[in-house]
Amino acid sequence: MLVSAAKQIKRKLYKVKDRAGQRRRLAAAGARLGDLPAGDYFVAPPPGVQITQWASPKLVSDILDGRVKAADDPNWRDFGFATTADYDFWSWRICGLMCVKAVLDAYHLAERETVASLTEKGVALGGYKVKQDEGWFYAPLVKLARSFGLMGQVYGALSLEEIATAILDNHFIIASVHPGVIRGDLDRNPHDGKGHLVLTHGFRWDGVAISGFFINNPSGRTAKTQQKAFIPIKNFREAFAGKGFSLWEKSLL
């Protein structure tokens, strides 16, 4: 009981500290964006090309809608899983891992790793509780990226302005969103507890405000929504859960 109480106090203190830190970051972000010329801004280099959490990008929509079973994906072996059952299980759960892989690929890191081997390493670091079917947790994914030479930071609270300034600093943001809203399946967020991670690597500034973000979506239904998809600010805001983590190249420090 004492341990549990201590953990609760620690979490509360962390939230208070994080909110205070966010207020400072938000003020700094606003000041920086205020002088920015209108235009599109991106992290460089761009993320790697493999982003979908299924090995056949053209089948994503059919798999999501149940017209094709993930286990029947003809390219399932490309991810390196031993069986179709393993592939079927993990393909529905590796949106965050695929975002990390896309950043690793951008810097030509972990090139000998498969999706399966990265998944195994991420699980070993505590990223996913297989028996409870819970995850992915941000800190272990950051730790996984760090094991290959990247840097990263977890944000318990993250604003849209902070995402934009992180991109200006050449930091990729893996943002927590509602899957149906970010795909365009839903107009409004039902707040049903469903979570999804997308790789945010660009934004559009109209000279006064952020008008949208560019993302790679592991469960995008088409090529246009899978890579460098422009999400208008209204839609992104509706989908965004206000948290995520960042990854960047170590040499930027």
**Across the chain, what does the average pLDDT equal?**
92
Tokens of 114: 């498969």
Q: What is the pLDDT of residue 128?
A: 97
Look at residue 100 in the predicted model and tell me its pLDDT: 98
> pTM above the 0.85 mark?
yes
Averaged over 157-179, what is the pLDDT? 97
Cβ 210 vs Cβ 107: under 8 Å: no
| pLDDT above 90 as % of the chain | 83
Residue pair 244/155 in contact (Cβ under 8 Å)? The answer is yes
- Every domain of the chain and the residues it spans: 2-51+153-252
Residue type present at position 234: K
Alpha-helix residue ranges (DSSP H) falling in the chain: 2-34, 60-64, 84-91, 95-106, 115-124, 138-146, 160-168, 179-183, 223-226, 233-239
Contact 144, 94 (CB under 8 A): no
Per residue in 10-50, pLDDT (tens digit) is 666 666 666 666 677 777 776 788 789 999 999 999 998 87
- Selected from 3.90.1570, 3.90.220, 3.50.50, 3.90.70, the CATH number assigned to the domain covering 2-51+153-252 reads 3.90.70
Provide the pLDDT confidence category of residue 2 given band limits of 50, 70 and 90. Answer: very low
pLDDT in tens, 116-144: 999 999 999 999 999 999 999 999 999 99
Task: Provide the pLDDT for residue 188.
Answer: 95
Task: Taking residues 55-74, report their average pLDDT.
Answer: 98
What are the helix and strand counts (H, E) for the chain? 10, 9
Decide if pLDDT at 3 tops 50. no
